[in-house]
Structure 1
Amino acid sequence: MLATSLLFAAPWSPASAQPPSAVQTELERLEREKEAALRPVIQASQQRLAQMQAEFTKAGRLDEAVAARDALEQLKTGNGEANRLAGTTWSRKPDNIPNKGYVKLLASGLAKSADGGWESAGLVTRWEHVGGRVVLLTIEKGRSDHLCEVWLFDPQWKSYKGFAFDGVRVEGSEAKEK
């Protein structure tokens, strides 16, 4: 909630915040330790995969170069939650839009609107798991304002609430393939 307050200047007060439970605090601490321990291994793996991609490309072994590139991209998508979210489709209902839309989170880090509306408008949208239960959607190309959307997932990763690109509240849940 604090991240969304900072990004969108949404009203926030300490009175509206609920303290985390002892279990949640311990889980977050363990997650930070896990990420810190894995960071050097992941960085070394990324360097080796990039080196392999370059070597295979130079040797004309394009299938292997593509496989190395794909593995590198998968590794760059982040931790287990990001990998779990990759390829999923989510309903998306901002407060100011009466009908639900759908967003697909691709393994490449791109986010696509199921009806093609974002793409037909020239928008290039990326998604990123930024930590905890927070996903950030960012418009990289196609407009110069209203560039971020924040989703805060429930503890079971079944639904989210947050703020849409234009700052209105948004919510959604996992959907069947669209």
Structure 2
Amino acid sequence: MFRLDRRMFVLAATLLLAAGCGRSATVPEAIEVFDVKTGYDDGGHASGQNRLLPTIAFKVRNKAGRPIHSVQFNAVFRVIGDPEELGAQLVQGIGYSGLPAGQEVGPFTLRSMFGYSGEQARREMFQHASFQDVQVQLFAKQGGNQWVKLSELVVDRQLLLIAKAPAARK
């Protein structure tokens, strides 16, 4: 009887250890944001006016010792001093197949759907008296876990020429 209980204990401990080795890293321990660029992207032309959209582009690296799976990124844009959201964009960043330890992915480009519009040239819009700076908060979420703030930056007053974001890793 004693042998059977000891075998069951060893089996249970082995299964728990194996399950722990296979679990995904978490956002706080794994996600490192780098090569961050902020600015304003060309929002096109609407109603005879040029549009500028606040934008953030970034890459992420898995700094943990194991893969991380199923991560979404969310950028929330606000005019500085205004509690109302100017706009936000959510993207699936790392799919179910995961991002291996030490690997990187990106760039991801997230834009507000709302920004500034005016009749003047886009570069001149930054000098307009009613132009106000915008901040962006970057968050990440893994599966059903809570959102984790990765960064908070003031969007640079510059025009960006950024390629579209890549598809998520599956």
Same fold (TM over 0.5): no
Give me the TM-score of the superposition, normalised by structure 1. Answer: 0.25
Normalised TM-score (structure 2): 0.25
Larger radius of gyration: 2
Richer in helix (by share): 1
Of Structure 1 and Structure 2, the greater strand share is in 2
